[in-house]
Amino acid sequence: MYVCICHDIKDSQIKTAMQQGIDSLESLQSELLVGTCCGCCVPMVQDLLDEHHATCPTIDAMAV
Ligand code: FES
């Protein structure tokens, strides 16, 4: 499914990037350019990030 029409980015590409440790909006924007044009996709990217963080807690979260 396309998430970012402006940069031709699919959810699978975003999920792969997150699995590789690119797990913040800023780093996804830097790496994939997602959300850096019109910005319409940012809420959907944030949802994917929230879903990722809910299922893959960060090391900091595990240390608490
Ligand atoms: S749809 Fe992603 S920046 Fe426009």
Q: How far is the CA of 61 from the centre of ligand 1 (A)?
A: 30
Which CA distances in Å does 18 have to 33, 59?
14, 14
For residue range 1-57, list pLDDT tens digits in order.
999 999 999 999 999 999 999 999 999 999 999 999 999 999 999 999 999 999 876
Segments making up each domain of the chain, as ranges = 2-63
Residues within a 6 A CB radius of ligand 1: 4-7, 34-41
Q: How far is the CA of 51 from the centre of ligand 1 (A)?
A: 20
Q: Are 32 and 17 in contact (CB under 8 A)?
A: yes
pLDDT higher than threshold 60 for residue 61:
no
Q: Which CATH class is domain 2-63?
A: mainly alpha
Backbone angles phi, psi at 2, to 5 degrees: -75, 135
Q: What is this structure's pTM?
A: 0.86
Supply the pLDDT for residue 56: 76
Cα torsion through 57, 60, 63, 64, rounded to 10: -90
Q: How far is the CA of 27 from the centre of ligand 1 (A)?
A: 15
